[in-house]
Amino acid sequence: MKLRYLLILSFVWPLLAFADLSVNDLTADHLRDPLGIDNLQPLLSWKLQSNMPSTMQTAYEIRVAKEGQSSSLEWLSTGRIAGDESINIGYSGPALQSGRHYQWQVRVWDNHANVSDWSPSAHLEMGLLAHADWGPAQWITYPWSEDKNQSQPSPFFRKKFPIKNNVLRARLYITALGLYEASVNGQRVGDAYFTPGWTSYDKRLQYQVYDVTPLLRAGNNALGAILADGWYRGNLTWFNQRNLYGDQLALLAKLVVEYRDGSSEIIASDPSWQVSTAEIRSADIYNGELQDLRLRKMHWDEPGFSASDWGPVKIFADATPPLVASTAQPVRELEIVKPIKLLHGPNGESILDMGQNMVGWLRFKAKGQTGQQIRLFHAEVLDQNGALYRKALRSAQQQMEYILPDAQEHTLQPHFSFQGFRYVQVDNYPGALNLDDFEGVAVHSDLPALGHFETSNAMLNKLHSNIVWGQRGNFLDVPTDCPQRDERLGWTGDIQVFTNTAAFNMDSAAFLKKWLTDLAIDQTSGGAIPFVAPNALGRLKIKSLPTSVYALKPSATGWGDAITIVPWALYQQYGDSAALVEFYDNMKQWVEYERAGASSWWMTWLNYHNWFDTQRRRDDKYIWNGKFTFGDWLAPVPVSSAFVNTIYFANSAQLLSETARLLHKADDEKVYAQLARDIRAAFQRRFTTSPGLLEEDIQGAYVLALQYDMLDVQSRDKAARRLNELVQKNGNHLATGFLSTPHLLDALERFGYLNTAYAVLQQESFPSWLYPITKGATTIWERWGGIQPDGSFGDDGMNSFNHYAYGAVGEWMYGTIGGIRPLQPGYKKISIAPRPGGDLTSAKVSLQSPYGLIGVEWHYTGSALSMIIEIPSNTTAELVFPIAGASLQRDGKPLTVGDGIERISTNSENKAVLDMGSGNYAFSTN
């Protein structure tokens, strides 16, 4: 009993610290206090806190001030605006100005006649809104020639300059062709890595803005920058491809210093800068770094350094892409992982086991002799002999090399390379290897954590941890497929199946909108969507690839459909309709590309044998039969291309119709709704053998047909029954691939086979979600059998052990075990419908939604169930109690309407349905 009240208190206590009504957690464009944005109408959001049940906002007021304004009379105010909108409200005040700093606040009114105090101030700062605002900065580069077929020493740039007293603020605007790392007076600028990030560099290049005010001092100062190849000109994709976007590194920087007397000055990249090389002899994302510390130039970025032997820079006169402000969170150091064990390989190699497959690098201390070379080799798993399994890396070296400069102790780590690894082989380490001298630095885009998942089943908890770690490792500026081999690309199919799970785990809105922009930019004029974004594959420089589908085909269903699926998911998960507005034309172009692929003249020719079958000829324009597809990728039993193509064609047409409805495009709504109906009708005639039975009698086919409502209502139950039979005949093992696996459990649950869904989820033998855990997995594998039951490996050429696609089951775990799903976009109305099953006796699941924390905790003994629920202010919820016919109590008393419960009813399954307002609730069966 004490535990029960402690659990209730754990939900209630945080609210007791607040007044009746308050406002907090202000964001602009999904970011907290963004520094340097170029959206003139940023999306403003906030959250309400109230200790009153069923609290709804009824009105709000926003006020905005430029930096330096202190009197409340100088605030620009919207005045009181009636409405309950508190997320993604477009700024509509006076025009925001280039380089200006603003602070803003919100206050709200609620349905209990309360008005909040003004929220704490949030900040946003505009970037450089026009090309002319960069003046007098010029692109600069180095004057020496290079062998551009291989990685070269990093150029180090420096500029010495004087500063007066009484600096008010200083901002550094900076970008590069390649990667950069900036410093002022010997101190690193900011904590971001791999800037300026990866975009479609030929079409847009991001810049960053830093507050360097604390780094400046009166008198002489120095500004420095190091460049490296990165995605711009380093090894990228396969076949030893380099220089995909350009072959010359360059720097653009502008430091603006404002003084308290109102004066200002600019220090910009121009011919007065100097350049040289130093210890970074090569730096490559795939292959690692070589640092010869004997060549270090100590204090090179400080004003007292003598740069007499440094050369002048050269102006880079080549055309450069348009500059845009960064729109997502940067990559940062976010976790430290200590090694758990020192192992020894078959030849005596020293191997560190980090205990976690991670993405980042090893930071360590070493003290040896001048010229001693320490080499690190990285891998995700060990082979059967206990050596690093590196065949799966293909051509990627994942190697770090350090040459010590003297006999002093040094702390070593890379600047411009990241590795995917759990195991690190350390060669030629000086002295005894002490685990305390090593740590793994995990890096990824700094997306705020949103979800918490915990159950009574340790294996499911581990599965959730593996999903989160897979997302961390692969959300590194772009959503990559894998972080270790010679690939690491923004595959569209992977992210379209994973987006909803990603949104539960982390606040991915800004991150995915940034990626979608590159996807849209790289769409062809004919509407084709590339396999990856940014589209590095479209820039391969190989004259002939007769066996490569990647070079010959422009797009693929299930992958290209990311342009319709991901914006829709952002709308559902975050309530961000701006994403639908921004990418609507791209969505429409893609559906028309699909339509053209299905109805082209050569498609009719390919089906000439159907010429005298009038109905089949009519159907041909809806059955996308001849284009390339990856199909249900890596499924043990594949689904045919035409089957997959047609389903995704229908789904994208349906999403486009629904988007058109939301955007008040009535004509498009009708056209694409009819198109979706026509595709489904053609699908049923072509791919069903009888009502509910499919021509392709396999798990993946039934899952996709059911998930996307390709069958008529009368046939669905029979199809679901057949799916259940196939799963059970397979020993409750899945036999699905990238596209169907995320929906397998949903299809089973939806049609009444919850027990089978739990049996599949909790299956531990091969193939299953939990099987990799029995083999020591700490992330999600690319293949069900990456390591076979006998310990051998799957396909060496495609065997990543950190691939998040199959982790899309996380959406079902949150939505069914935790019961949390959006009934209205952004969780304005919440569905709370947990469904205990399997061997679970308890679960504690929460989500920090755009409106606030949604919490669900349940304990089930088999005869009684108790639940604790938290619903955030300014939302409502529908709770479906899991047990049919249960007699419910609230806080130990018979359940009645009131104190947040607005209505009690019963559904067709005889389960209690409660319409609830915000607040904290404790329910139980008596």
What pLDDT, in 10s, does the model give residues 327-347? 999 999 999 999 999 999 999
The rounded Cα 36 to chain-centroid distance in angstroms is 21
pLDDT attached to residue 617: 57
pLDDT higher than threshold 90 for residue 72: no
Convert the pLDDT of each residue in 349-366 to its tens digit: 999 999 999 999 999 999
Name which residue leads in pLDDT, 619 or 604. Answer: 619
Selection from 186, 158, 314 nearest residue 250 by Cα:
314
Q: Which amino acid is at 681?
A: A
SS3 category, 208: strand
pLDDT of residue 767 exceeding 60, the answer is yes
Q: What is the pLDDT of residues 97-116, one digit of tens each?
A: 999 999 999 999 999 999 99
- Burial class, 62, CB count within 10 angstroms (exposed 0-12 / middle 13-18 / buried 19+): buried
User: pLDDT tens digit string along 513-523?
Assistant: 999 999 999 99
As a whole-number percent, the residues of the chain with pLDDT over 70 amount to 94
Q: How many CA atoms lie within 13 A of 731 on its CB side?
A: 6
- Residue 718: both structure tokens together: 């029979």
Instruction: Say what the pLDDT of residue 619 is.
Output: 72
Average pLDDT score over residue span 693-708:
98
What is the 8-class DSSP label of residue 386?
S
3-state secondary structure of 205: strand
Report phi then psi at 8, rounded to 5: -60, -45
pLDDT at 599 (0 to 100): 66
CA distance 534 to 538: 9
pTM of the model as a whole: 0.95
Residue 301 has pLDDT above 70, yes or no: yes
Give the model's pLDDT for residue 673: 98
The per-residue pLDDT for range 147-182, each reduced to its tens digit, is 999 999 999 999 999 999 999 999 999 999 999 999
Grade residue 873 by pLDDT with cuts at 50, 70 and 90.
Answer: very high
| Range of weakest confidence among 63-72, 376-385, 519-528, 897-906 | 63-72
Contacts by 233-236, CB closer than 8 A, 24 or more apart: 233/148, 233/177, 233/178, 234/151, 234/283, 234/284, 234/285, 234/286, 235/151, 235/284, 235/285, 235/286, 235/287, 235/395, 235/396, 235/486, 236/285, 236/286, 236/536
Question: Does 49 have pLDDT greater than 60?
Answer: yes
Q: What is the pLDDT of residue 734?
A: 97
Residue 738 has pLDDT above 90, yes or no: yes
Residue that has been written with the tokens 């581990």 in this structure? 462
Residue 627 has pLDDT above 80, yes or no: no
Residues constituting the chain: 926
Confidence (pLDDT) at 618: 66
Nearest-angstrom CA–CA distance, 917 and 616:
53
Dihedral of CA atoms 594, 596, 597, 599 in degrees, nearest 10, equals 120
Tokens of 545: 């690839």
Residue 833 has pLDDT above 90, yes or no: yes
Question: Active-site residues: which are they?
Answer: 487, 782
Residue 592 contacts residue 520 (beta carbons within 8 Å): no
| Rounded Cα gap, residues 445 and 478, in angstroms | 9
Predicted confidence at residue 214, as pLDDT, reads 98
Q: Give the per-residue pLDDT at 475.
A: 98
Query: DSSP code of 488?
Result: -
394: tokens are 């293909």
